[in-house]
Structure 1
Amino acid sequence: MHDYVTSLFTTFMAFFAIMNPFANLPVFLSLTKKTSKEKRNEIASKACINAFFIVAVFMFGGNYIFNIFGLTIEALRITGGIIIFYIGFEMLLTQSSKVQSNDTDNIDIGIAISPLAIPILAGPGTIVTAINLTADQPIKHVATVALMFAGICLLTYLTFRSATYFYEKLGENLIQVISKLMGLILAVIGMAMLIGGIKEAFNIS
């Protein structure tokens, strides 16, 4: 029983470390600053649900997916790095990124799926962690890992819901500053992911 609880805790912390909902809160806040409270909560919900199902697919069939389409983790890292760098570069240099919109009917589609669900929440690191924790394991173990990841997604959703509180307290000017800073950080993260993927693909030490 003790080993089982330890395993659950280790799994939960592994996902928590790689997703880090609190670190992603400023990014979420920057991407949704032009939306209403209701729409922001809807985006948070859809992003977390989408992230869960994306990672769950890889938990239950990741190896098959990679083999069928000839995909590699390195390619996933490179692609995710390019996407994150592009988003961050736009946030850093422009008043409003193209992933942000005043059209509240469509903004959830553009942001909840990408970049929030993938590659920010369900990024290469999260997918690799999920595959490593479930590879060659019985279905009961895979279901348990999925349950732990669902808990992280729930925690992320609750954290994102608090973005409205921070938005009201910080004000528009400070949000703009945070947006630029997060753009820089996202660009750096994306570039680091891209470089890491290239190094792994070409076995560069």
Structure 2
Amino acid sequence: MNNLEFFTYSFASLFAIVSPLSAVVTFVSLTNKLTFEEKNIIANKAVTLACIMALFFAISGELILNFFGITIDSLRVAGGILLFTVAFDMMLAKVSRESITDNEIDKSQDRTDIWIFPIALPLLTGPGTITTVIVLMSGSATIIQSGSVLLAIIATFGITLVLYRFSRRVYKLLGYTGMLVFTRLMGLLLAAMAVNFIVTGIWNIYMSFQI
């Protein structure tokens, strides 16, 4: 695929797994007792940290895999299974167990560091996001495509920051039903991406044994 197609694929993949619009519901729940200014400070800190973490794993992910002796195709299969479980929860309009549980949301209400946990990690940059950025970077054929992945990460979290800063207005505009519809659509897209990860990984592993 050409550079524009690769960027579009990378952005769509990241946007589906981060799913910032559906995460607005959780963000509103976590910050409903805060003032408008306090909420925006939380949003700025959380999204910045999540973006930095995603960029870090995009740049150093392959080195980390090599250190532990893990092949990228093994990560594709394992990550694809993980992404499919997340997608299944999204299609049922449930908060993913990979991201955050209802119990964790309740316990986070009175904490001052919610921008770190659970918002930045793992709600925005969880195992699914980390797997996706590493796989995308491994699939880049040129420096331009590698840069496209980094740009897709920045664009995704840029949109996330805007949605979080206007989270209460977005929630009032779309309503809970609108959020559920969007979550199911993103879940379907993510499920298809997960299947692609698994099939590609298994095929590459199979072919490596034929050589």
Q: TM-score range by the shorter chain?
A: 0.5 to 0.7
Normalising by structure 1, we get a TM-score of 0.64
In structure 2, what residue type is equivalent to 1:80? L
| Residue 120 of structure 1: how far off its partner (Å) | 5.3
Distance 1:78 1:112 in 2: 23
Q: Which amino acid aligns with 1:154?
A: I
- The alpha-carbon distance between structure 1 residues 153 and 194, as it changes in their structure 2 partners (threshold 3 A), is closer
Separation in structure 1 between the aligned mates of residue 119 and residue 87 of structure 2, nearest angstrom:
13
Q: Secondary structure at the match of 1:31?
A: helix
1:57 corresponds to which residue? Answer: 60
Q: Distance in 2 between matches of 1:149 and 1:179?
A: 27
Normalising to structure 2: TM-score of the pair?
Answer: 0.62
User: Do the aligned partners of residues 20 and 170 (structure 1) sit closer, same or farther apart at CA in structure 2, a change above 3 Å counting?
Assistant: closer
Contact persistence 1:81–1:189 (CA under 8 A) = no
Q: Number of matched residues?
A: 184
**Is the CA contact (8 Å cut-off) linking 2:75 and 2:131 kept in structure 1?**
no
Change (3 A) 1:189 1:118: farther
- After the TM superposition, which residues 127-166 of structure 1 pair with which residues of structure 2 at under 5 Å, given as runs? 127-134=134-141, 142=143, 145-164=145-164, 166=166
Would you say the 8 A contact 1:30–1:175 is kept in 2?
A: no
Query: Which letter does structure 1 place at the counterpart of 2:162?
Result: S
2:13 alignment partner, SS class: helix
| Equivalent runs, 1:32-51 vs 2, <5 Å | 32-34=27-29, 35=31, 36-51=39-54
On the 8 A contact 1:39/1:104 being kept in 2, the answer is: no
Code of the aligned partner of 2:66:
Y
The 5 A counterparts of 1:153-192 are 153-164=153-164, 166-172=166-172, 174-185=174-185, 187-188=187-188, 192=192
How many angstroms does 1:26 deviate by? 0.9
Q: CA contact under 8 A between 2:136 and 2:149: conserved in structure 1? A: no
Kept in 2, the 8 Å contact 1:80–1:190? The answer is yes
The 2-side partners of 1:69 and 1:178 are apart by 40
* One-letter identity of the residue aligned with 2:139: N
Q: CA deviation at 1:20?
A: 3.7
Q: Quote the offset at 1:186 in angstroms.
A: 5.3
The answer as to 2:20 corresponding to 1:28 is: no
* Residue identity matched to 2:57: I
Q: Name 2:116's counterpart in structure 1.
A: 108
Task: Name the aligned partner's letter for residue 54 of structure 1.
Answer: F
Query: For structure 2, which runs of at least 5 residues remain unmatched after alignment?
Result: 32-38, 204-211
- Quick one: structure 1 residues 11 and 40, their matched pair in 2 at CA, closer, same or farther if it must change by over 3 Å? same
Gaps of 5+ in 1: 1-6, 135-140
Partner in structure 1 of residue 35 of structure 2:
none
1:80 corresponding residue in structure 2: 83
Supply the distance in 2 between the matched residues of 1:8 and 1:192 (Cα, whole angstroms). Answer: 22
- Tell me which moved more, 77-86 or 46-55: 77-86
